[in-house]
């Protein structure tokens, strides 16, 4: 059964940019439909003009996940403060910051350090296939991202089999920590952005970059401004006359993050994601 969401004029959505920009790792587009698994549901989405067609989840779930309630026009005009981000907004107009399930987001970005996006997708798919529950209505077989309890059964060897490499020990320890403190997620959700990134960086394998991604995509702190090598390069080239260093030291990370937040304001995370989506054209070579 297919549900339909009619988008209003003031509800812009670019589904390709939103699901393909690299913020979430479980989506692929097959013969016109985006297919993914979110919160135990195998979902298919297709956008035709102003009509969003959904299978596998009801309207409210999809509206919530895609954050259709974000006032995107207001958000984009608030971050549209210079020619560089303006061009990025024009290219990906309608890209939305998803509301990702927190635990999946946490483990996904633990898997996303010092690597590339296809490898992260592979790792998350392996974790789901080996430890997640089979999703009933998946046409090709689909697996939910595993719960903390399900992943607690995973050993260091299991994580290595899922191609996490040296991150395996970090993953094992994070899962164990959450298992020993079941209310941790709820307490995390109650924290401010700055408090949350302190709590997140206390976890093994989670540094400032992963913490900012989890704050942005998993906790909805839209002012979070994750700084990876691409963003660092873009900010250095277009926003301050930067000497291109190789290493991104903690002090340098903090400097770029602060600059992003102060320049773009309370929705700096949106600016970050539009710049990231435009990284190939904004960054030389």
List helix spans (H) across 50-116: 59-65, 72-79, 83-92, 102-110
Task: Tell whether the torsion through CA atoms of 88, 109, 111 and 227 is positive or negative.
Answer: positive
Subset of residues 136 to 195 that bind DNA, contact rule: CB under 7 A: 160, 163, 165-166, 170
Choose, by CB under 7 A, the member of 51, 60, 81, 117 that binds DNA. Answer: 117
Distance CA 109, CA 101 (A): 12
Kindly tell me which residue out of 29, 46, 122, 130 binds DNA, with binding defined by CB under 7 A: 122
Residue 236 as a binder of DNA (CB under 7 A): the answer is: no
Contacting DNA (CB under 7 A), which of 12, 40, 138, 208?
Answer: 208
Residue 104 near residue 132, CB atoms below 8 Å: no
By CB under 7 A, tell whether 114 contacts DNA: yes
Structure tokens at 41: 């549901």
Provide the token pair at 124: 């998350």
Q: Is 20 in the site for DNA (CB under 7 A)?
A: no
**Residues 265, 100, 15, CA angle at the centre, nearest 5°?**
80
Does 228 help bind DNA (rule: CB under 7 A)? yes
Kindly tell me which residue out of 215, 272, 274, 282 binds DNA, with binding defined by CB under 7 A.
272
By CB under 7 A, tell whether 119 contacts DNA: yes
Closer of 134 and 166 to DNA (Cβ): 166
* Number of shown-chain residues binding DNA (CB under 7 A): 42
What is the end-to-end Cα distance of the chain in Å, rounded? 46
Residue 29 falls in the annotated catalytic set: no
Alpha-carbon span 96 to 21, nearest angstrom: 10
| Residues forming the site for DNA (CB under 7 A) | 21-23, 112-119, 122, 160, 163, 165-166, 170, 201, 203-211, 213, 226, 228-231, 247-251, 253, 272-273, 276
């Amino acid at each position: 059964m297919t549900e339909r969401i009619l988008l209003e004029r003031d509800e812009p959505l670019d589904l390709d940019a939103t699901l393909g920009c690299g913020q979430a790792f479980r989506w692929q587009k097959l013969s016109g439909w985006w297919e993914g698994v979110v919160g135990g549901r195998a979902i298919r989405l297709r956008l035709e003009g102003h009509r969003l067609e959904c299978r596998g989840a009801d309207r409210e779930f999809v509206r919530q996940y895609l954050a259709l309630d974000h006032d995107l026009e207001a958000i984009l005009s608030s971050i549209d403060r210079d020619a560089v981000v303006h061009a990025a907004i024009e290219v990906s107009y309608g890209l939305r910051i998803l509301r990702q399930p927190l635990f999946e987001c946490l483990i996904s970005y633990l898997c996303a350090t010092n690597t590339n996006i296809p490898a992260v997708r592979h790792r998350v798919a392996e974790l789901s296939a080996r430890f997640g529950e089979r999703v009933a209505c998946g046409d090709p077989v689909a697996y939910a991202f595993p719960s903390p309890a399900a992943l607690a059964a995973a050993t260091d060897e299991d994580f290595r089999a899922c191609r996490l490499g040296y991150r395996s020990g970090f993953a094992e320890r994070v899962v164990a920590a959450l298992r020993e403190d079941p209310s941790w997620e709820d307490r995390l959700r109650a924290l401010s952005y700055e408090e949350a990134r302190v709590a997140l960086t206390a976890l093994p394998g989670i540094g400032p970059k992963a913490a900012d991604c989890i704050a942005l995509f998993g906790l909805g702190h839209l002012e979070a401004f994750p700084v990876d090598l691409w963003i660092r390069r873009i900010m250095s080239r277009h926003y301050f006359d930067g000497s291109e260093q190789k290493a991104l030291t903690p002090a340098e990370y903090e400097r770029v993050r602060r600059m992003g937040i102060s320049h773009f304001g309370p929705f700096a995370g949106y600016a970050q994601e539009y710049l990231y989506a435009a990284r190939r054209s904004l960054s030389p070579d």
